[in-house]
C-alpha cells in the first residue's frame, strides 16, 4: 500500500494513535495526515509559481527537502512525494557549498527548509519564499501517485567528490515496504526508534515501513546515548534501527541496566563483531538482532540473523525476492567460492543516477545490477563481502570514498600528494586516515579550515601523517603496502599531525 494511502487509512480508523514522536512533540495519525495535506497545498501553490523546470522529465515536480531531523519532516515527506511529486533529500549538515551545488544540478521547483519549529517554502526560480504557519486550504485527500513515476532522490558519495543523485520510482519503494513489513513482522504495536538522520536511507526506510504498518516512529534531532536510552524506556520502544556505532554506544551506557522492551534490533551500514552481539545480548536480552547488507542504488541485498554464520566476511543470505550472482570481469557467472563482482536481481533496484554520474558505481547487465562490490557465495547461498566498490571505507555506518577526501585535501593548497584509507577501529569499524606529502606553503591550520568548509565531519580524517617523500611504485602510484607498513612500525619517515 502506498505510504500516503496507509497514513490516510490509519488516520480514518485510529486518528488519535501516535504516529511520530521527536523530542517531546507527538503527532497522531490524524494530525500527521492533516499536516501533510496543508503542506501539500502549499507545495502545489508554490510549484505553480516556478518559472523553470527541474531536471526531471515530464510533469513530475521536484521538491527538495532540506529540513533534517525536524518534527515536521514526516508530514513534509508525505506531501513532497504525493500527487505525482518527487522528493529530493538534502542533508542540511552538509557544507553549504555542497548543498548549493546539489540544488543547482537538480533545479527543484520547490525547496522546503526548517526555520525553528516551522517550515519555510522557497521557489528558487521565482525568488519567492514564505513561512508555512497556521491553517490553510487543504485537499480532501492525498493522491498517492502512479507506480512508475519518479518518487525519491537520495544522495550517496561519489568518487569525484560530488554526491551522486540516485532516483527511485514508487513501485520499487512500495515493493520494498511490503516485503520488509512481512520480513520484519511489523504491526501497529511495533513502536520503532531510529535516531539516525532522516535524509539517509536506513532511517528514512524505517520511518516509511513504520508508518505504513500503523505503528509509532520515534526519532531524534541528534544521537546522544543517554537520551536514547531514556527515550526507549519512556516509550517502550520495541524495535531499534541503528548503525553499529550507535548500538555500541547504547550497550556501553546500558551496562548493568538491561532494557527488556526491545524485541528487535535492525542494523546496517557496517558489520557487527562477535563482541558487539554479546554486548547487545546483555543490554537488550529480549532482542533479536538482524543485520542487512544493501546499497542505496540496489536496496536490500542480503540479511543475517542470529542463526546464521557470523564470520568476518559473511553478510547473510539473499533478502526475500532478491537473487544474487557473482560475475568475473568478462561478465561470466562464477561458481560458489570464487570471488568476483556482486550482482543483484530484484524489484528493489533504483533507476540509477541523475544529474550526472561519475563513471563509477551502479551499472546494469541485463536484469542484474551492481555497485561494484566484491564477494563470493558459499554452497549454501551465504554471501561474503570482500571489498567495497572503489576501496570505499565504511566508518561509523557512513560510506566514504577515499578519492573524494584526497581531492579535498589536495585542493587546500601546499599539498603535493595525499593518500586516504581506512584503518581498523574497534568502535567505528574503520577509522579514516590520511598521509600527506606537503609542498611549499603547506599550513596545517589552513588545511583544517578548508576541510571543515568542504567536507562533513565524518569525512574528515581522524588521523593524519606528513610524509616528506611518499613511497611510490614503478607505475607512479603510491606504494600502499609500504606506506601501511611504515604506519604499523611507526617509521621515522612519517610525522604524526593528528
Q: Which whole number is the average pLDDT over 16-33?
A: 95
- Residue 333, domain member (yes or no): no
Contact predicate 157/297, CB 8 Å: no
Q: Are residues 351 and 441 in the same domain?
A: no
Task: For residue 37, give the nearest of 175, 142, 170 by alpha carbon.
Answer: 142
| CATH number of the CATH domain containing 288 | 3.40.50.12780
**pLDDT over threshold 90, residue 427:** no
Q: Are residues 350 and 416 in the same domain?
A: no
Least confident of 1-10, 27-36, 128-137: 128-137
Containing structural domain, residue 412: 395-496
Q: Which one-letter DSSP state was computed for residue 314?
A: B
Q: Are residues 111 and 176 in the same domain?
A: yes
Query: 73: Cβ–Cβ under 8 A, 6 or more apart, which residues?
Result: 65, 67, 198, 219
- Residue 28, domain member (yes or no): yes
| CATH number of the CATH domain containing 460 | 3.30.300.30
Task: For residue 296, give the nearest of 408, 377, 219, 399 by alpha carbon.
Answer: 399
Q: Are residues 125 and 208 in the same domain?
A: yes
- Residue 184, domain member (yes or no): yes
Work out the angle at residue 240's Cα, subtended by the Cα atoms of residues 16 and 374, and round it to the nearest 5 degrees: 135
Q: Are residues 350 and 427 in the same domain?
A: no
pLDDT tens digits along 74-121 = 999 999 999 889 999 999 988 899 899 999 999 999 999 999 999 999
Q: Are residues 430 and 488 in the same domain?
A: yes
Structural domains of the chain, count:
2
Query: 314: Cβ–Cβ under 8 A, 6 or more apart, which residues?
Result: 304, 308, 382, 383, 384
What size, in residues, is the chain? 498
Dig out the grid coordinates for 54 from the structure. 527541474
Q: Which residue has the cell 551522486?
A: 164
- Residue 444, domain member (yes or no): yes
Amino acid 11: pLDDT: 97
Can you say whether the dihedral through the CA atoms of 127, 132, 134, 136 is positive or negative? positive
**Angle formed by the axes of helices 3-13 and 29-49, to 10°?**
140
**pLDDT over threshold 50, residue 475:** no
Amino acid 201: pLDDT: 87
Q: Are residues 291 and 173 in the same domain?
A: yes
- Residue 481, domain member (yes or no): yes
Contact predicate 61/86, CB 8 Å: yes
385 vs 320 pLDDT, higher one: 320
Q: Are residues 312 and 459 in the same domain?
A: no
Query: 65: Cβ–Cβ under 8 A, 6 or more apart, which residues?
Result: 73, 76, 77, 80, 87, 88, 89, 90, 112, 199
pLDDT tens digits along 338-358 = 988 999 999 999 999 987 665
Q: Measured between alpha carbons, how far is 498 from 486 in angstroms, rounded to an integer?
A: 16
Amino acid at each position: 500500500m502506498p505510504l500516503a494511502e496507509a497514513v490516510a487509512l490509519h488516520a480514518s480508523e485510529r486518528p488519535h494513535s501516535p504516529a511520530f514522536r521527536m523530542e517531546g512533540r507527538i503527532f497522531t495519525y490524524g494530525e500527521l495526515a492533516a499536516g501533510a495535506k496543508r503542506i501539500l497545498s502549499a507545495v502545489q501553490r508554490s510549484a505553480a509559481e516556478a518559472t523553470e523546470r527541474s531536471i526531471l522529465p515530464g510533469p513530475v515536480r521536484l521538491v527538495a527537502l532540506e529540513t533534517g531531523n525536524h518534527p515536521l519532516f514526516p508530514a513534509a515527506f508525505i506531501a513532497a512525494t504525493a500527487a505525482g511529486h518527487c522528493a529530493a533529500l538534502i542533508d542540511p549538515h552538509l557544507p553549504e557549498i555542497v548543498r548549493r551545488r546539489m540544488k543547482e544540478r537538480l533545479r527543484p521547483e520547490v525547496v522546503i527548509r526548517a526555520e525553528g519549529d516551522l517550515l519555510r517554502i522557497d521557489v528558487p526560480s521565482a525568488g519567492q519564499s514564505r513561512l508555512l504557519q497556521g491553517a490553510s486550504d487543504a485537499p480532501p485527500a492525498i493522491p498517492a501517485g502512479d507506480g512508475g513515476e519518479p518518487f525519491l532522490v537520495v544522495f550517496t558519495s561519489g568518487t569525484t567528490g560530488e554526491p551522486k543523485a540516485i532516483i527511485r520510482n514508487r513501485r520499487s519503494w512500495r515493493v520494498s515496504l511490503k516485503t520488509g513489513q512481512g520480513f520484519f513482522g511489523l504491526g501497529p504495536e511495533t513502536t520503532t526508534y531510529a535516531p539516525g538522520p532522516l535524509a539517509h536511507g536506513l532511517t528514512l526506510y524505517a520511518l516509511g515501513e513504520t508508518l505504513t504498518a500503523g505503528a509509532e516512529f520515534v526519532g531524534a534531532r541528534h544521537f546522544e546515548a543517554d537520551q536514547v536510552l531514556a527515550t526507549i524506556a519512556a516509550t517502550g520502544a520495541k524495535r531499534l534501527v541503528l548503525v553499529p556505532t550507535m548500538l555500541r554506544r547504547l550497550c556501553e551506557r546500558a551496562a548493568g541496566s538491561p532494557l527488556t522492551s526491545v524485541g528487535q534490533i535492525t542494523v546496517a551500514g557496517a558489520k557487527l563483531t562477535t563482541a558487539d552481539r554479546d554486548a547487545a545480548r546483555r543490554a537488550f536480552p529480549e532482542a533479536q538482532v538482524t543485520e542487512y547488507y544493501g546499497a542505496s542504488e540496489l536496496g536490500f541485498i542480503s540479511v543475517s540473523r542470529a542463526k546464521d554464520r557470523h564470520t568476518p566476511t559473511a553478510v547473510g543470505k539473499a533478502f526475500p525476492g532478491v537473487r544474487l550472482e557473482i560475475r568475473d570481469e568478462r561478465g561470466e557467472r562464477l561458481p560458489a567460492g570464487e570471488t568476483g563482482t556482486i550482482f543483484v536481481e530484484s524489484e528493489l533496484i533504483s533507476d540509477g543516477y541523475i544529474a550526472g554520474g561519475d563513471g563509477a558505481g551502479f551499472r546494469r547487465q541485463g536484469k542484474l545490477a551492481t555497485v561494484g562490490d566484491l564477494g563470493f557465495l558459499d554452497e549454501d547461498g551465504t554471501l561474503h563481502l570482500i571489498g567495497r566498490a572503489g576501496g570505499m571505507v565504511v566508518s561509523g555506518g557512513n560510506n566514504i570514498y577515499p578519492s573524494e577526501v584526497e581531492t579535498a585535501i589536495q585542493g587546500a593548497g601546499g599539498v603535493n600528494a595525499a593518500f586516504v584509507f581506512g584503518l581498523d577501529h574497534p568502535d567505528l569499524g574503520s577509522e579514516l586516515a590520511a598521509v600527506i606529502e606537503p609542498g611549499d606553503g603547506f599550513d596545517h591550520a589552513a588545511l583544517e579550515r578548508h576541510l571543515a568548509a568542504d567536507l562533513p565531519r565524518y569525512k574528515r580524517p581522524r588521523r593524519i601523517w606528513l610524509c616528506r617523500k611518499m613511497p611510490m611504485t614503478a607505475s607512479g602510484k603510491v606504494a600502499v603496502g609500504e606506506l601501511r607498513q611504515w604506519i604499523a612500525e611507526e617509521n621515522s619517515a612519517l610525522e604524526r599531525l593528528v
